Chains A and B, each alone.
Chain A
Amino acid sequence: GAVVSQHPSWVICKSGTSVKIECRSLDFQATTMFWYRQFPKQSLMLMATSNEGSKATYEQGVEKDKFLINHASLTLSTLTVTSAHPEDSSFYICSARDRGDSYEQYFGPGTRLTVT
C-alpha cells in the first residue's frame, strides 16, 4: 500500500517552454502533497505544500508564478514549470500524506527535468 506515482519519469524541454509533472497517490487519499527539488549531490528542498482544494503554500524563495501547483483532487497534484530555463533542470520529487496518517510522507519516484 501507500504508493505514489509521478509522470513523466524524465523530460527534456527547450528553454522558454512549460512542463507539467503529475503526482498521484494510487491507493490512498492524500489531503496534503509536497513538492521537493533536488540538485545533484544536494538534499531535498521543499518547494511547496499543497492541500486539496486550496492554494499551495510556497517556501521562501520559490516563485509561485513560475512553479504552478494544482491539487485538484485527493489523489492528484500537478506541478507546472513555466517558461523553463536551464537552471530549472533538477530532480523533482513529490510526496503525499495519507489523510489518516499523522506524520509519514510517501515519496514518488521523482521526475528528472532537463532544460536545454
Chain B
Amino acid sequence: GQNIDQPTEMTATEGAIVQINCTYQTSGFNGLFWYQQHAGEAPTFLSYNVLDGLEEKGRFSSFLSRSKGYSYLLLKELQMKDSASYLCAVYSGYSTLTFGKGTMLLVSP
C-alpha cells in the first residue's frame, strides 16, 4: 500500500523560514515531487528528488532521505503569495503519482 503523511496546516510570518515534512511508505519508489497548489487551481511543480540530499532552487529547497522514507520542503524569505497548499507526491511504478493530503501554509504579515 501507499501511505504519505504531511502536517495538515502550518503558519509562519512573512520573511521567515518554514520546513514542511513528508514521510512516506510506498511499494516502489522512483522519486519524490513537491507541488504548490493555490485554492481552485491545479498543482504547479516545485521540485523533484531522486537521490538523497538537498536540491536548492531559489527560495525553495527540497531534501530526500530514501533510507528513512523522509523528505522536506524548505521555504525561505516567505512572502504572502506563498500561502498555499504544498503537496508531497511519490512517483512509483510506471508514471504513478501518489499524493499526500497536502499541507496548508498560511503566511501572515
Contact = CB atoms under 8 A, between A and B. Distances in A.
Chain A interface residue number, banded:
20 to 34
A103 B41 contact: no
B40 A107 contact: no
B48 A110 contact: no
B66 interface: no
A46 interface: yes
Contacts of A95: 97
Contacts of B95: 32, 34, 49, 97, 103, 105
Nearest to A112: B40
Contact of A109 (B41, B96, B102): B41
Contacts of A42: 101
B79 interface: no
A32 B102 CA distance: 25
Nearest to A6: B42
A43 interface: yes
Interface of B: 30-31, 40-45, 48, 87, 91, 95-102
Given A42-B101, A44-B99, A105-B97, 10 more contacts: A49-B95, A49-B96, A91-B40, A103-B31, A103-B95, A104-B45, A105-B95, A107-B42, A110-B40, A112-B40
